[in-house]
Amino acid sequence: MSYPRMLRIKQIFETAPPIADIPTAVRYELERLELSDIRRGETVAITAGSRGISNVAAITKIVVEELEAMGAVPFIVPAMGSHGGATSDGQLDILRQHGITEESMGVPIRSSMETVQIGETLGFPVYMDKIASEADHIALIARIKPHTDFRAEIESGFYKMMAVGLGKHKGAVTCHRAFVRHGYQKVLENVGRELLKTGKIAFGLGVVENAYEQTARVGLALPEEMEREEKRLLSLAKSWMMKLPFNDIDVLVVDEMGKDVSGDGMDPNVIDRFAPETLDMSCGPKIVRLVVLDLTEESRGNAIGIGRADFTSKRLVEKIDRQATYVNALTSLAPESAKIPPYFNTDREAIDAALSTVDTIEPGVAKLVRIRNTLVLGEVEVSEAYAPLLENRKDLLQLSEPKELQFDQYGNLPPLKPWSPDPKQHSFR
C-alpha cells in the first residue's frame, strides 16, 4: 500500500505557563489551613486518585508535610471508585505507579473497598470509604478538568472525588445508575453536599494543568468555598484544553491508550467520540477512522474505551485484563466501551485497514494524523496533505521535512518520541 509521507509539527497552544516552583505554590495555598478546624493530634485522610496528575507525588508529599507541621496525623486513602479492578491491592498498585507509596510519603496508605452509608439524596444512598469516614478530617487532592461524558459548571474535580472516588466501587455503581435518571451534575452536587454535611471534609486542593499537561494552577478551597472554587478552576481548565491540529482527519493513529491517559482510555474531548447518550456534545474534529496501537503499562490491562476505536493491534488485545476492563465498563454502565474492534497482527495491517476504508481517497494522499496519546499533543505527525495549510497557521510550527512512515522489521511503528531536545520546553501565548 502507498502511505502518505509524514512531517512533524509543534502546536503552540493558548495556555498558561507551568508553575516554576510547585512546592512554594502549594505551601502558599496551604497557609490558609490556619482557618480550618484541624487540631493537633487529629487524623486526616488524604485522597489519592487514579488519574495521571503531573507532580502528584510531590504535591501529595507537601500536603503530608504541612499537615504534620500543624501537629495533625495524616494518612492516605485511594479514592478511585472501581479502578484497579475494584480491589484494594489493585488500587494500591495504581498509587505505586504514580510514585505514591508509604516509603515515599512517609505515612501509612490505608486501602479498603469497604464503605459506610453516610446519608441519602435524590432517593438513593450515599456511601463513603469506611476508613476515611473514621478519620477526624478528609483532605481532597483533585485535578480539576473537563469530564469525558458531560458538560456543566462542575465536572471532574472535588465533587466527583467525593461522590465517586470516596464512594469506592459501591458508591461509583450507585452514582452511575443515578446519572441516568438525574444527570451528572445534579448527582455529583447532591452527593458532594451530603459528604460536606458530615463535617469531615477539611479542604480541597485543586490542580489545573495547561495544554502541555504541566501544573499551571493550584488552589485551596475550604468546604464553604469548594463549589465556587471548582467552577472557577474548571473554567480555566476548559480555556487551556489541548486539541488536535486539524478538524478534517481521514485516519487518526493513536500510539497508546490507557487509564493513566484518560478515564476513557482516549479522551473523548480530544477525539470527539462520545458515548451514544452524549452525542450532542460532539463539536470537534471529524475523524473517519481511528486506529489505536497499544495499551500503556500503567493501565494494568484496563482497556476501557477501546470500543471507541475502529481498528487496533493484536499486541494491545493481548494486554487486556478483561476483569479490570469489564468491572470499569459495567460500573460506568457503558459496556460498549469495552467492545474490541477488528485487530491485526501488525501496526501496518491495522493502518492498511483504516486507509482502505476512507471513501475513495488514494492512501498516499490521505489526511493522516499520528499522536502518542490524547494527553500528549504538543508535537504530532501529520501527512503531507496538510502541508499547504501550515503557511497560514501561526499556532503550528513545522519541525521536519516529509518522510515515509517507518515500520520496523515486524511491521510495527517505533514509539513517537518528542522531537524537541527538552520536551518540557514549549511556547506559550
Could you tell me which residues come within 8 angstroms of residue 114 by beta carbon, excluding any fewer than 6 positions away?
A: 129, 130, 131, 168
Residues 233, 269 within the same domain: no
Residues 116, 219 within the same domain: yes
Domain end (from 239, 268, 284): 239
**Other beta carbons within 10 Å of 233:** 24
CATH number for the domain harbouring residue 55: 3.40.50.11440
- Residue 417 located in a structural domain: no
Transcribe 77-144 into DSSP letters: EE--TTTGGGSHHHHHHHHHHTT--HHHHSS-B-----EEEEEEETTEEEEEEHHHHTSSEEEEEEE-
Residues 271, 391 within the same domain: yes
Q: Report how far residue 402's alpha carbon sits from residue 389's, in angstroms, rounded to the nearest whole number.
A: 14
In the chain, the number of structural domains is: 2
Q: Are strands 201-209 and 311-313 parallel, antiparallel or unpaired?
A: unpaired
- Residue 305 located in a structural domain: yes
Residues 78, 220 within the same domain: yes
Q: Report how far residue 218's alpha carbon sits from residue 26's, in angstroms, rounded to the nearest whole number.
A: 7
- Would you say 145 and 216 are in contact if contact means Cβ atoms under 8 Å apart? no
- Would you say 108 and 76 are in contact if contact means Cβ atoms under 8 Å apart? yes
Residues 286, 183 within the same domain: no
- Residue 412 located in a structural domain: no
Transcribe 304-350 into DSSP letters: TTGGG-SEEEHHHHHT--HHHHHHHHHHTT-GGGG----EESSHHHH
Residues 216, 110 within the same domain: yes
- Would you say 22 and 215 are in contact if contact means Cβ atoms under 8 Å apart? yes
Q: Are strands 115-121 and 124-129 parallel, antiparallel or unpaired?
A: antiparallel
Q: Which domain holds residue 334?
A: 6-14+242-398
- Residue 404 located in a structural domain: no
Domain end (from 220, 239, 258): 239
- Residue 425 located in a structural domain: no
Residues 169, 278 within the same domain: no
Domain end (from 239, 270, 298): 239
Residues 53, 173 within the same domain: yes
Residues 120, 218 within the same domain: yes
- Residue 410 located in a structural domain: no
Residues 285, 387 within the same domain: yes
- Residue 422 located in a structural domain: no
- Residue 428 located in a structural domain: no
Residues 36, 151 within the same domain: yes
Residues 10, 50 within the same domain: no
pLDDT, tens digit only, all 429 positions of the chain: 789 999 999 998 888 899 999 999 999 999 887 767 899 999 999 999 877 788 999 999 999 999 999 999 999 999 988 888 889 999 999 999 899 999 999 999 999 999 999 999 999 999 999 999 999 999 999 999 988 777 888 888 999 999 999 999 999 999 999 988 998 889 999 999 999 999 999 999 999 999 888 999 999 999 999 999 999 999 999 888 888 999 999 999 999 999 888 888 998 889 988 665 544 555 568 999 999 999 999 888 999 999 999 999 999 999 999 999 999 899 888 899 999 999 999 999 999 999 999 986 777 789 999 999 998 898 999 999 999 999 889 999 999 999 999 899 999 999 888 765 444 445 544
